[in-house]
């Protein structure tokens, strides 16, 4: 072997697009928490956004009775499941679609990656937005256009911003990812806002990937899909991970407009050469989840009720602490902005949101993710708080004992979500002390 090659690190053979990336931020914080816990530290986990609730019993039962299913299934997904997903969107979202418009994959994240790979368009995402959209674009070499949102605007992209961006080069193919209820802010869009965004997207033929993975966790059950207003250009992304508590089952779905069948087919080609098909027993069980019914409705009602009560309590506490924070409307996240205490933070040697989270974790045991992981500027003091560190199974059973039409009181939260309240108090005290 020539001498020069002997001396070079083997890493030169890594694809450049991958070399620049670290491991997914959420996984890193999780590992650090596990390390600290092994050292005996008490850790309050506000880092990883995993549902606290168990998979509904009827869905688990379906999985049990399909454990013997061992065959590879069709690459686009099991026919009965695709039909069930289409039916679900027809009823739930008023979208005109059929089973043939649905693609099932091992998590919506994987489907998003394949979409970015096969669709040759600039990725448009708001900042802040979920941690994996941008790294996926980097890996496949797509350009990214970040749209700056503000606290005042509840971290939402406006139709004027979309218009201004598209006007510059109206013919450029673009993929806009909208996520609501939103990770990281817990915010959502109202129907009129969606209608206005849809109008601009239609004018410039922007492809929308509507990431509605938290749709069923809208705290008031009032989620509306933008596909209603822009059916021909919207792919709806969903799955079992959040509303069904089944992140580790790995099942996601994309629902396409008929006009975009060519895109679905192209994705299926890549899927057939990579993961082949989604786990068979999981797909059979997922049919039950998408079929819905009384048990699932009840489960969802109680999940939303608990998350709404908890989200409001945390929102009030964080607001009082001196940070600013948007009122959550869905999912299980808050996005506190500590800009009002930026001076004292800097005086303590904290210059970035990453340092902020590091110090918070080391000094209080509260683990959160820095705003910079969601595309915010490094020196902005934003953090994401996932309020899921409680026993969701126990909370669901207890909520059943509280009349359906009454609110869950503070005593409910202090009994069943104690760790989340305690962690939030520690966070607020820490802010107060800076
Ligand atoms: C906004 C958002 N989209 C997509 C996903 C991926 O979900 P899945 O488990 O279906 O891959 C997540 C998971 O954290 C998420 O928060």
CA pair distance 324, 335, nearest whole angstrom = 9
Assess whether pLDDT exceeds 70 at residue 4: no
pLDDT at res. 205: 97
pLDDT at res. 426: 97
Higher local confidence (pLDDT), 8 or 43:
43
Assess whether pLDDT exceeds 90 at residue 24: no
Sign of the CA dihedral running 292, 293, 299, 300: positive
Q: What is the residue whose two structure tokens read 């998408």?
A: 290
Query: pLDDT, tens digit, for every residue of 241-293?
Result: 999 999 999 999 999 999 999 999 999 999 999 999 999 999 999 999 999 99
CA pair distance 179, 374, nearest whole angstrom = 13
Task: Using pLDDT thresholds of 50, 70 and 90, give the confidence band for residue 149.
Answer: very high
Higher local confidence (pLDDT), 24 or 181:
181
CA pair distance 111, 270, nearest whole angstrom = 10
> Under a CB-based contact definition with an 8 Å cutoff, are residues 155 and 326 in contact?
yes
Sorted by sequence, the CB contacts under 8 Å of residue 406 that are 6+ apart come out as none
Q: Closest ligand 1 atom to the C-alpha of 252?
A: 10
Q: 3-class DSSP state for residue 125?
A: strand
Q: Closest ligand 1 atom to the C-alpha of 240?
A: 10
Mean per-residue pLDDT, 295-304:
97
pLDDT at res. 68: 98
Nearest to 226 by CA among 247, 262, 244, 200: 200
Ligand 1 centre distance from Cα of residue 167 (Å): 31
Q: Closest ligand 1 atom to the C-alpha of 251?
A: 10
Q: 3-class DSSP state for residue 237?
A: strand
How buried is residue 137: exposed, middle or buried, by Cβ count under 10 Å (0-12/13-18/19+)? buried
Q: Closest ligand 1 atom to the C-alpha of 49?
A: 14
Strand partners, 207: 175
Q: Which of 112, 183, 185, 223 to mutate to test the pocket of ligand 1 (most atoms within 8 A of CB)?
A: 183
Ligand 1 centre distance from Cα of residue 130 (Å): 8
Assess whether pLDDT exceeds 80 at residue 20: no
* Phi/psi-derived region of residue 279, left when phi > 0, alpha when psi is between -120 and 50, beta in every other case: beta
Query: pLDDT, tens digit, for every residue of 312-353?
Result: 999 999 999 999 999 999 999 999 999 999 999 999 999 999
- Go through the chain and tell me how many residues it has: 434
Q: Which two tokens stand for residue 389?
A: 């560190």
Q: Which of 241, 255, 289 to mutate to test the pocket of ligand 1 (most atoms within 8 A of CB)?
A: 241
Assess whether pLDDT exceeds 90 at residue 148: yes
How buried is residue 419: exposed, middle or buried, by Cβ count under 10 Å (0-12/13-18/19+)? middle
Ligand 1 centre distance from Cα of residue 12 (Å): 31
pLDDT at res. 2: 53
Q: How far is CA 23 from the centre of its chain?
A: 17
Q: Which H helix or E strand runs over 111?
A: helix 108-118
CA pair distance 338, 357, nearest whole angstrom = 11
Q: Closest ligand 1 atom to the C-alpha of 211?
A: 3
pLDDT at res. 19: 75
Q: Where are the beta strands (DSSP E) in 161-206?
A: 174-179
Q: Which two tokens stand for residue 403?
A: 């009349």
Mean per-residue pLDDT, 429-433:
92
Summary count for the chain: helices (H), strands (E): 17, 12
Query: pLDDT, tens digit, for every residue of 62-107?
Result: 999 999 999 999 999 999 999 999 999 999 999 999 999 999 999 9
Query: pLDDT, tens digit, for every residue of 369-386?
Result: 999 999 999 999 999 999
Q: Closest ligand 1 atom to the C-alpha of 26?
A: 14
- Between vectors from CA 299 to CA 287 and to CA 315, what angle results, nearest 5°? 125
Give the global pTM.
0.95
What mean pLDDT, rounded, does the chain reach? 94
Q: Which of 110, 113, 130 to mutate to test the pocket of ligand 1 (most atoms within 8 A of CB)?
A: 130
Task: Using pLDDT thresholds of 50, 70 and 90, give the confidence band for residue 33.
Answer: confident
Ligand 1 centre distance from Cα of residue 416 (Å): 26
Ligand 1 centre distance from Cα of residue 91 (Å): 23
Q: Closest ligand 1 atom to the C-alpha of 50?
A: 14
Q: Which residue owns the Cα nearest ligand 1 atom 14?
A: 49
Q: Which two tokens stand for residue 275?
A: 């993961």
pLDDT at res. 14: 83
Q: Which residue owns the Cα nearest ligand 1 atom 4?
A: 109
> 3-state DSSP: the chain helix, strand, coil percent, rounded to 5?
50, 10, 35
Q: What is the DSSP string of 352-392?
A: SHHHHHHHHHHHH-EE-EEGGGGT--TTS-BEEEE---S-H
Nearest to 232 by CA among 200, 256, 210: 256
Q: Which residue owns the Cα nearest ligand 1 atom 5?
A: 109
Query: pLDDT, tens digit, for every residue of 101-143?
Result: 999 999 999 999 999 999 999 999 999 999 999 999 999 999 9
Mean per-residue pLDDT, 10-26:
74
Ligand 1 centre distance from Cα of residue 206 (Å): 22
Q: Which of 49, 112, 213, 369 to mutate to test the pocket of ligand 1 (most atoms within 8 A of CB)?
A: 213
Nearest to 17 by CA among 120, 138, 111, 129: 138
Task: Please give all residues whose beta carbon lies within 6 A of any atom in ligand 1, as ranges.
Answer: 49, 107-109, 130, 179, 183, 211, 213, 239, 241, 247, 252
Q: Closest ligand 1 atom to the C-alpha of 247?
A: 9
Q: Closest ligand 1 atom to the C-alpha of 238?
A: 10
pLDDT at res. 124: 98
Q: Which residue owns the Cα nearest ligand 1 atom 16?
A: 183
Assess whether pLDDT exceeds 60 at residue 5: no
Assess whether pLDDT exceeds 90 at residue 17: no
> Under a CB-based contact definition with an 8 Å cutoff, are residues 302 and 398 in contact?
no
CA pair distance 77, 268, nearest whole angstrom = 10
Q: Which two tokens stand for residue 335?
A: 């996005």
Task: Using pLDDT thresholds of 50, 70 and 90, give the confidence band for residue 218.
Answer: very high
């Amino acid at each position: 072997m020539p001498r020069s090659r002997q001396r070079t690190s083997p890493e030169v053979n890594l694809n450049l697009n991958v070399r620049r990336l670290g491991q997914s931020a959420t996984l890193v914080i999780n590992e650090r928490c596990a390390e600290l816990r092994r050292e005996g530290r008490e850790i309050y986990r506000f880092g990883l956004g995993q549902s606290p609730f168990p998979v509904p019993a009827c869905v688990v039962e379906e999985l049990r009775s399909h454990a013997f299913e061992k065959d590879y299934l069709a690459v686009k997904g099991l026919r009965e499941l695709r039909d069930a997903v289409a039916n679900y969107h027809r009823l739930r979202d008023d979208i005109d679609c059929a089973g043939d418009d649905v693609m099932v994959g091992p998590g919506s994240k994987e489907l998003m990656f394949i979409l970015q790979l096969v669709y040759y368009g600039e990725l448009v995402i708001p900042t802040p937005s979920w941690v994996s959209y941008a790294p996926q674009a980097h890996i496949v070499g797509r350009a990214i256009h970040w749209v700056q949102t503000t606290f005042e605007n509840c971290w939402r992209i406006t139709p004027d911003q979309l218009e201004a961006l598209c006007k510059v080069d109206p013919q450029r193919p673009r993929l806009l990812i909208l996520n609501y209820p939103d990770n990281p802010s817990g915010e959502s869009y109202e129907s009129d806002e969606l209608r206005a965004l849809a109008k601009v997207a239609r004018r410039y033929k922007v492809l929308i990937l509507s990431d509605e993975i938290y749709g069923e966790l809208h705290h008031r059950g009032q989620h509306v899909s933008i596909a209603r207003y822009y059916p021909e250009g919207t792919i709806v992304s969903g799955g079992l991970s959040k509303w069904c508590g089944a992140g580790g089952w790995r099942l996601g779905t994309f629902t396409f407009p008929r006009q975009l069948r060519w895109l679905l087919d192209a994705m299926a080609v890549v899927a057939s050469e990579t993961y082949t098909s989604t786990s068979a027993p999981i797909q059979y069980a997922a049919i039950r989840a998408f079929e819905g019914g009384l048990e699932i409705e009840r489960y969802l009602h109680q999940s939303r009720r608990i998350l709404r009560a908890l989200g409001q309590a945390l929102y009030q506490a964080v607001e009082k602490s001196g940070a600013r924070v948007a009122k959550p409307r869905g999912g299980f996240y808050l996005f506190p902005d500590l800009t009002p205490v930026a001076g004292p933070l800097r005086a303590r040697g904290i210059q970035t949101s990453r340092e902020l989270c590091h110090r918070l974790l080391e000094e209080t045991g509260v683990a959160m993710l820095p705003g910079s992981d969601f595309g915010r500027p490094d020196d902005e003091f934003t953090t994401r708080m996932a309020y899921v560190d409680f026993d969701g199974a126990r909370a669901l059973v207890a909520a059943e004992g509280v009349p359906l039409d009454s609110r869950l009181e503070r005593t409910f939260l202090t009994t069943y979500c104690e760790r989340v309240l305690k962690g939030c108090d520690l966070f607020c005290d820490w802010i107060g002390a800076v």
